[in-house]
């Protein structure tokens, strides 16, 4: 049995290595340059995430194209505004290319470090950008896609927007600066979204505070054109344009926030309930057994991450999250979560530890320890 088990492990790792080599070959191909389009339209820099068949999932090649261009536009006197959008009509960006990272982690490839480090540096660049940055999140916006949008000055949702941070379901945690923006949402809403991966749709994305504006999808093309045509716009000029389009978008305006009836339960009960690691609060808002499906290790890491992030700068949060990302790469739940949710799709991950009670405080604390010379540098 031991020999057969060893054979299976070796077989899986060799298969991962082969897949990784294929992925790296694709990234180096001429097609890679078309995965993100970088254009100058008038005085606007326009970024189009261009992997529609993959719901514009973010890979390391796209990061490596966007980062230097953003830095160039930031100091270019003829670039007044940056707009980022997704191609294909279904997604802005459905997340990071997690399968590629998983394959890399399985065989010890540097991509498992490089992807997170370079993604977080890009997130920080957006969060500290010196020119107006407008994200048109018209479609699915999750994980890595949130990192490309939420830290910018303006985030425009539509009725097609679907927001979530679903990482605890795959043995990860809500990264890309989730530890910064989530605890700054109203009350304990951010903690709730972080732990459950609850999905917000359409206008609710703005009502939650994730988006700054709501504009109907059919008006986005006209909005983009008007933004591009602005001459040396100030933040106030851009805000006025966005406000005017929002006023013309009445869809679902009177509809109450999807969690409105449950905000008091979330705010008043969440801390005490979670500190006892009990989850009955979840049942009263149709999230039955949701947390029970998540990685117990991820839940405890996420709880501590969100609590710590309340008093941190974005830069401090990203340093913390890089440490957490590397802890997840060394653990087993991330690989098991990706297998169960994205590869085999049996939706039956075997978490280790399998219960919250089995996750020791020390194992959680260890995930937050400094990586010394390998810490993220911003």
List 95, 127, 139, 144, catalytic entry: 144
Catalytic residue from among 45, 86, 96, 331: 96
Distance of CA 58 to the CA centre of its chain: 10
- Distance CA(108)–CA(72), nearest Å, equals 33
Q: Quote the CA–CA distance of 26 and 29 in Å, as a whole number.
A: 5
For residue 250, the surrounding DSSP H or E stretch is: none
- Tell me the pairing of strands 44-49 and 36-41: antiparallel
* Catalytic site includes residue 96: yes
Q: Is 196 helix (H, G, I), strand (E, B) or coil?
A: helix
Strand ranges for the chain from DSSP E: 36-41, 44-49, 81-86, 91-93, 133-137, 140-142, 154-157, 162-164, 200-201, 213-214
Instruction: Name residues whose C-beta falls within 8 Å of residue 37's C-beta, 6 or more positions apart in sequence.
Output: 46, 47, 48, 50, 87
Task: Give the count of alpha carbons within 13 A of 20, CB side only.
Answer: 19
Other CB atoms within a 10 A radius of the CB of residue 314 amount to 20
Active site residue 177: no
Whether 103 is catalytic is no
Q: Confirm whether 175 is a catalytic residue.
A: yes
Quote the tokens at residue 296.
Answer: 């117990």
Which one is catalytic: 109, 138, 167, 216?
167
Return the closest-CA partner of residue 141 out of 52, 55, 70, 75. Answer: 55
- Parallel, antiparallel, or unpaired for β 81-86 and 133-137? parallel
Sequence-ordered list of residues with C-beta below 8 angstroms from that of 75, at least 6 positions apart, any chain: none
CB 143 within 8 A of CB 151: no
Helices 220-229 and 235-247, packing angle to 10 deg: 160
Contact 36, 66 (CB under 8 A): yes
CA-to-CA distance for 185 and 127, rounded, in angstroms? 16
- Say if residues 134 and 213 touch (Cβ distance below 8 Å): no
List the catalytic residue out of 175, 204, 216, 224. Answer: 175
The total number of residues written for the chain in this structure? 378
From CA 86, how far away is CA 142, in angstroms rounded?
A: 13
As annotated, the active-site residues are 96, 144, 167, 175
């Amino acid at each position: 049995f031991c020999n057969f088990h060893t054979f299976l492990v070796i077989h899986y790792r060799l298969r991962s290595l082969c897949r990784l080599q294929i992925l790296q070959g694709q990234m180096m191909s001429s097609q890679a340059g078309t995965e993100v389009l970088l254009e100058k339209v008038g005085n606007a820099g326009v970024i189009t995430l261009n992997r529609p068949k993959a719901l514009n999932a973010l890979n390391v090649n796209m990061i490596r194209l966007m980062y230097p261009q953003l830095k160039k536009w930031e100091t270019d006197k003829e670039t007044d505004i940056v707009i980022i959008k997704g191609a294909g009509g279904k997604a802005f960006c459905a997340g990071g290319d997690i399968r590629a990272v998983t394959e890399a982690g399985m065989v010890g490839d540097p991509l498992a470090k490089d992807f997170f480090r370079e993604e977080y540096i890009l997130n920080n660049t957006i969060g500290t950008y010196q020119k107006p940055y407008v994200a048109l999140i018209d479609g699915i916006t999750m994980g890595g896609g949130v990192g490309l949008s939420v830290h910018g000055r303006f985030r425009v949702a539509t009725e097609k927007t679907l927001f979530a941070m679903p990482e605890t379901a795959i043995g990860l945690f809500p990264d890309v600066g989730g530890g910064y923006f989530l605890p700054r949402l109203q009350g304990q809403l951010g903690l709730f979204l972080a732990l459950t991966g609850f999905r917000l749709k359409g206008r609710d994305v703005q009502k939650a505070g994730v988006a700054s504006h709501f504009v109907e999808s059919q008006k986005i093309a006209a909005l983009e054109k008007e933004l591009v045509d602005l001459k040396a716009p100030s933040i106030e000029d851009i805000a006025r344009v966005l406000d005017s389009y929002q006023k013309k978008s009445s869809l679902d305006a009177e509809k109450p926030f999807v969690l409105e009836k449950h905000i008091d339960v979330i705010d008043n009960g969440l801390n005490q309930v979670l500190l006892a690691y009990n989850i009955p609060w979840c049942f009263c808002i149709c999230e039955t057994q949701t947390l029970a499906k998540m990685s117990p290790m991820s839940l405890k890491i996420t709880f501590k991450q969100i609590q710590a992030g309340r008093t941190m700068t974005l830069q401090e949060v990203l340093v913390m999250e890089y440490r957490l990302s590397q802890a997840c790469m060394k653990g087993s739940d991330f690989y098991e979560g990706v297998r169960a949710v994205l590869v085999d799709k049996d939706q039956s991950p075997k978490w280790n530890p399998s219960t919250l009670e089995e996750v020791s405080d020390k194992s959680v604390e260890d995930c937050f320890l400094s990586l010394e010379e390998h810490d993220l540098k911003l």
